[in-house]
């Protein structure tokens, strides 16, 4: 309403100026027509901008609402598994070296672990005949970069074929669901024990930001690396088979 009022207020002021300076009737009509057209154009533009803004805001609200619902459901689902939460907490706090729940007086290792240990824990890959994940590319591994609290790697340990440094291939025909998701596919692993994103706390934000920075650094290294650097974009594009 304020915008429409402002436009009409300017229009009224313009007519008063025309009348007071005794412009000819033809000029007055022309100016009136031009001004009216300008007002209509401005009104149309302002309306469209308002609709676009409303549409964008609505989409953002819906997106935020959906994201909030998804996040809430993730937390609800995770914390409903009391035995898993306790297992994760025990491992994160260093009270346990394995991730497991007790069932019928027996250990049941949590999914995604290698006998109760995360894949990217020192010594785990070596135990199944793979190079340590903290092995540089030039030394036969897939590590791209390191920071104080994080290590970045290209997913590796591929056992479905003979690939350089056992790196997961790009081709889905070769790697299936183990294939890399693009010419640049990097993951970062924290030194700190974190089992799940829903266990991250406010105090961990600086740590997470450090990880994001290492991701950006690693992406640039691979995107700009030479054709002789294993895992770089140029190297990937030079491969065949």
Sketch the domain layout of the chain as residue ranges.
2-78, 81-116, 119-238
pLDDT of res. 32? 46
DSSP letter string, 191-215:
SS----GGG--GGGHHHHHHHHHHH
pTM (predicted TM-score):
0.66
Given this model, what pLDDT does residue 7 score?
A: 29
From first CA to last CA, the distance across the chain in angstroms is 65
> Can you point out the beta strands (E) in the chain?
100-103, 106-109, 113-114, 117-118, 143-146, 150-153, 187-190
| Alpha-carbon gap, residue 123 to 142, rounded angstroms | 16
| Residue among 163, 210, 206 nearest 188 (CA) | 210
Distance, CA of 104 to CA of 191 (rounded, Å): 33
- d(Cα 180, Cα 241) in Å, to the nearest integer? 15
Q: Please tell me the predicted confidence (pLDDT) of residue 69.
A: 80
Q: For each of the chain's 241 residues, which pLDDT tens digit applies?
A: 222 222 222 333 333 333 333 334 444 445 545 555 565 565 566 556 655 665 665 566 556 667 678 778 888 888 888 888 898 889 899 899 889 998 888 899 998 888 888 888 888 888 878 888 888 999 988 999 999 999 999 988 888 888 888 888 888 888 898 888 888 999 999 999 988 888 888 898 999 999 999 999 999 999 999 999 999 999 998 887 5
Tell me how far apart the alpha carbons of residues 150 and 187 are, in angstroms, rounded to a whole number. 10
DSSP state of 167: B
């Amino acid at each position: 309403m304020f915008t429409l009022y402002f436009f009409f207020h300017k229009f009224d002021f313009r007519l008063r100026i025309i009348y007071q300076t005794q412009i000819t009737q033809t000029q007055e009509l022309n100016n009136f027509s031009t001004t009216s057209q300008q007002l209509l154009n401005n009104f149309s533009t302002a309306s469209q901008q308002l609709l676009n803004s409303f549409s964008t805001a609505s989409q953002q609200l819906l997106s935020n609402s959906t994201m909030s619902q998804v996040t809430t459901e993730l937390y609800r689902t995770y914390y409903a598994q009391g035995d898993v939460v306790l297992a994760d907490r025990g491992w994160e706090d260093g009270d346990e070296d394995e991730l497991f729940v007790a069932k019928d007086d027996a250990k049941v290792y949590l999914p995604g672990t290698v006998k109760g240990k995360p894949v990217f824990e020192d010594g785990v890959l070596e135990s199944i005949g793979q190079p340590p994940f903290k092995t540089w590319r030039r030394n036969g591994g897939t590590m791209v970069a390191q920071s104080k609290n994080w290590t970045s790697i290209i997913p590796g340990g591929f056992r479905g074929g003979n690939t350089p440094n056992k790196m997961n291939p790009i081709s889905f025909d070769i790697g299936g669901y183990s294939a890399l998701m693009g010419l640049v596919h990097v993951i970062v692993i924290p030194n700190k024990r974190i089992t799940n994103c829903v266990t991250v706390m406010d105090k961990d934000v600086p740590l997470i930001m450090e990880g994001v920075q290492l991701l950006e650094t690693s992406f640039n290294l691979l995107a700009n690396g030479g054709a002789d650097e294993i895992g770089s974009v140029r190297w990937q594009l030079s491969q065949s088979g």
